[in-house]
Structure 1
Amino acid sequence: MEKFKCESAPTVDRQLALKDAIDLLSGKWKIVILRSLYLDGSMRFKDLQEKTKGITPKVLSKELKQLEENLLITRTVNNTKPITVNYALTGHAIETLPVINALIEFGLKHRKKIKNK
């Protein structure tokens, strides 16, 4: 097996940066929520819940709050009757797209490899 080559030597800063990135995107739903917003643009809570089949309102609310705290999404309250709330990606969130796409590609290859086992 070929030895994996890193871009640079491991440092405490790089290890902490990796931990931050993993913490930021970890969980069953955060990446799915971000991808839905990438593909469909700004969405209301109910629309996001429909796109992320299987997520409960409580968990969706928690995940959205964490994504907002980490500056990956914005929450806009619209002065309508009834009041509606829209969620959208920030410019910072766009930087996660290559990571998400890489995970999708890896997942597809992995599924194929396991299926052909």
Structure 2
Amino acid sequence: MKKFIIIIIAISVIVTSLYLVSNNRNQSGEAVAIFHQLNPFVKKENSYIKTKNPDEILDHNRASYTQKVYNAKGEGRTLTFSAIEKLKVGRYMKIIHKGAHVETYKEVKKNEVPKKALKEIE
């Protein structure tokens, strides 16, 4: 019985830690992105950016970007993602991500960007 209680307490501590870590919007990086991708407490979110020049050109002409993205509430976080080729500058993009893990992105029209996000982007 004592071992069972210790196991329950350990699981509770781990679950609580996962939940608390998953709610920090200031996390970024590859290890954090993998953690967010696998963490069930991190929810998918739509955020928006206005494209800029790439921060780095990678192998095979892929482009790497690190920039602040904003959700519909105007809350921001920094994301790093790569594209198969350089994105056109000054375009609006919808980024679908789970914490720091970018799942996909697509170009959208300016009127499709939520007002609070657009205010922060411009």
The two structures have a TM-score, normalised by structure 1, of 0.30
Question: Would you tell me which structure has more strand in proportion to its own residues?
Answer: 2
The two structures have a TM-score, normalised by structure 2, of 0.29
Question: Would you tell me which structure has more helix in proportion to its own residues?
Answer: 1
